Homo-oligomer: A and B are copies of this chain.
Amino acid sequence: MAQLPTVEDVARVANVSRQTVSNVLNSPEIVKPETRGRVETAIAELGYRPHASARRLRTRQSSTIGIRLDPLVNGISGSVLDRYLHALTERAAERGMRIMLFTADDPDDEIEEFRRLRDGADVDAFIVTATRYADPRIDWLVAEKVPFVAFGRPWGEDLNSPDRLWVDVDGHSGTHQATQHLISRGLTRIGYLGWPEGSGTGDDRRTGWEAAMTERFGLSPAELAGLTTTTEEGVPQARRIVEELFAGDHGLDALVCVSDSLALGAMMAVNEAGQRSFPVIGFDNTPVAQAVGLSSVEQNLGEVAAGTLELLMGATGRRVIPHGEGLQDPRHRLITPKLVVRRSSHLAPVEEAGSTTAGNHNREENQ
């Protein structure tokens, strides 16, 4: 088979030099229109396509972003990361970037992988997920000046640190919307089913519910605590604890939950208890929520992905901004999620309050 055409070949056909071909590709504006046209014709004619590795070797740019993909799929909510990945791949493609996946057993291993990918000019930047307090990965990336964006706020650290770009979903706003929605339907004893205190994301989501309840009913911290139930993540865990709740004298009207898993477990318990009009709202709007008709807070992962790339490449840029160069403010993006209200299925029917206007919430019938 004939060799693939190179810049050299294109140059010969267009009767120009290598460099001019290169310029047509990389900075067309400096080439005289007439010449440019000739070169473009030659490119089309030969079916020329630049050799990415050669370009990378020279420019030390890869037009590729690395992200770790965990081996384990952590159940029902694992899909959030997958959906983010889909959105990211798509948005990245729009800017001529691609996504490369890798795995790692632990943070040290991940750093080792960062190093390999960076040194091999395989990727220009990383996206790190599941960040923790005093994360060694972040420290390494900052120290080595490798561009990166974290998906998830730096809980407990400086949210505005210039070194640390991040995107996240505003959990507070999500649960606030969910709670307000229930309030607008005339419900008052709205409980919160969350994770044990100490998780940044979980605590953030709880504050949204707290704020909405306090604004409307002026509850004291003690009263709020009385409406709060916590459990580890997991459908059976949630079902168990909500069953216990229903066994006692809870006096609740509805539940706002920190995740779809907990909401699903709660729904099952609600259903079990024969409570046919006890609304439950989840978080993440996973496929499961869609499937069973569970109202949930939708993280707009397309926006999250777009925000990620804006931080990495600027508003419209097509290459990663080197660390520390002309970074715009703010150095983060906090995406506001939207409540998706579903006419709940038989699993946990929600009575529609006749005249309720649902504001700007999404409303979705069972598709």
| A interface list, Cβ under 8 A from B | 4, 49-54, 56-57, 62, 64, 69-73, 75-76, 78-79, 82-83, 85-87, 89-90, 93, 98-103, 115-116, 119-122, 234-236, 239, 261, 264, 268, 271-272, 287-288, 290-292, 345-347, 366-367
Contact = CB atoms under 8 A, between A and B. Distances in A.
B51 A53 contact: no
A148 B248 CA distance: 60
A103 B91 CA distance: 9
A119 B49 contact: yes
A76 B268 contact: no
Contacts of A56: 53
A86 B70 CA distance: 7
Given A53-B62, A120-B51, A268 B100 contact: no
B62 A89 contact: no
A120 B50 contact: yes
A85 B69 contact: yes
Interface centre among A53, A69, A70, A85 (most CB of B within 10 A): A53
Given A71-B86, A75-B291, A287-B73, A121 B53 contact: yes
A99 B100 contact: yes
A294 B112 CA distance: 40
Given A71-B86, A292-B264, A346-B268, A57 B51 contact: yes
B57 A54 contact: yes
Interface centre among A82, A234, A261 (most CB of B within 10 A): A82
